[in-house]
């Protein structure tokens, strides 16, 4: 069958145009896609998988929705006016359905333009309410929670979930760090001495109770040694001596025996 060359050329051109103008994108797990057509964003995010689109007028942007960690080196002001160098990490994620709105209102550089900017403001505001030594003590966790709460107040309405703020390391001024270390050592030594004193008190109480118990036991024994009991014990002793096969001399007043060995006689 003979084909019209012009028709063949037209079909080939159409097929070539179709394939060259069709694009595809793979949206990975943990991300969503945002379709942008002639500069306008589709409000519905694209789920993970293969996406086909018209490449001339449309592009697909990907936005991660898994937990993301950003580390920031920052100088924190303290309540007494000192500057504390700190390295802090922010753990956050994006709500999938808000991804198109985030790209539309903030742009693809939302981490630096919004998340880190809000963090710097919140961290400076919170740390200024605490002394520098608090960042070196148990108050550290309290400071982290305060910064996270203040960030969440601003970012929640924008589609961000702040999971945690972590103070990874801090560098106090040298003199202050030495003073805090000395104070902590003194507190630990004081706690150790209190423990030793408490242990010695417990040992003294144990010995006192033991002595009282021994005294009470002796008193019970002494109270039980009546005349009748002593006479019974003497009779039992005479009976035991009478049945013994050994040679012996017994000196007694009839109440209590006194045994003298044979070789001890003059």
Nearest to 166 by CA among 140, 137, 189: 140
Domain termination site, one of 177, 197, 212: 177
Task: Strands of the chain (E only): list them.
Answer: 22-27, 31-37, 40-41, 49-54, 58-64, 68-77, 83-94, 160-171, 249-252, 257-260
Instruction: Name the most confidently modeled range: 5-9, 59-63, 119-123, 241-245.
Output: 119-123
Q: What is the pLDDT of residues 14-69, one digit of tens each?
A: 444 444 556 788 899 999 999 998 889 999 999 999 887 777 778 899 999 999 99
CA distances from 256 to 106, 238, 245 (A): 111, 8, 20
Calpha distance 245→260 (Å, rounded)? 15
Q: Record the pTM.
A: 0.60
Are 173 and 82 a contacting pair, CB within 8 Å?
Answer: yes
Residue ending a domain, choose from 117, 144, 177: 177
> Domain range for residue 24?
18-63
Q: 76 and 151: one domain?
A: yes
Least trusted range by pLDDT, from 80-94, 159-173, 222-236: 222-236
- pLDDT interval class at 99 (50, 70, 90): very high
How confident is the model at residue 126, as a pLDDT?
95
Is 104 found in the same domain as 56? Answer: no
In a domain, 208, yes or no: no
| pLDDT tens digits, one per residue of 127-177 | 999 988 888 778 899 999 999 999 999 999 999 999 999 999 888 766 665
CATH number for position 86: 3.30.479.30
Q: Where does the pLDDT of residue 71 fall: very low under 50, low under 70, confident under 90, or very high at 90 and above?
A: very high
Indicate whether 155 and 95 sit together in one domain: yes
**Higher-pLDDT residue of 95, 210:** 95
What is the tally of structural domains in the chain? 3
pLDDT bin (cut points 50, 70, 90) of residue 125 is: very high
- pLDDT beyond 90 at 256: no
The answer on 134 and 82 residing in a single domain is yes
């Amino acid at each position: 069958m003979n084909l019209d060359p012009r028709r063949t050329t037209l079909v080939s051109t159409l097929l070539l145009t179709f394939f060259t103008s069709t694009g595809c994108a793979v949206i990975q797990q943990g991300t969503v896609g945002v379709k942008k057509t002639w500069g306008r964003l589709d409000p519905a995010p694209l789920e993970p998988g293969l996406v086909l689109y018209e490449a001339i007028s449309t592009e697909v942007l990907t936005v991660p929705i898994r937990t993301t960690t950003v580390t920031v080196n920052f100088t924190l002001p303290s309540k007494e006016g000192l500057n504390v160098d700190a390295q802090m990490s922010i753990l956050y994620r994006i709500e999938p359905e808000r991804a198109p709105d985030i790209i539309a209102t903030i742009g693809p550089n939302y981490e630096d333009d919004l998340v880190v900017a809000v963090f710097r403001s919140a961290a400076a505001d919170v740390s200024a309410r605490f002394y520098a030594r608090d960042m070196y003590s148990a108050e550290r966790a309290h400071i982290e929670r305060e910064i996270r709460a203040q960030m969440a107040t601003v970012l929640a309405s924008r589609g961000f979930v702040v999971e945690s703020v972590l103070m990874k390391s801090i560098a106090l001024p040298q003199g202050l760090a030495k003073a805090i270390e000395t104070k902590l050592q003194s507190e630990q030594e004081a706690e150790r001495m209190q423990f030793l004193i408490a242990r010695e008190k417990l040992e003294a109480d144990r010995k006192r109770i033991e002595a009282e118990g021994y005294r009470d036991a002796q008193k019970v024994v002494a109270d039980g040694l009546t005349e009748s009991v002593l006479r019974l014990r003497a009779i039992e002793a005479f009976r035991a001596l009478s049945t013994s096969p050994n040679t012996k001399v017994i000196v007694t007043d009839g109440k209590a025996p006194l045994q003298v060995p044979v070789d001890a006689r003059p």
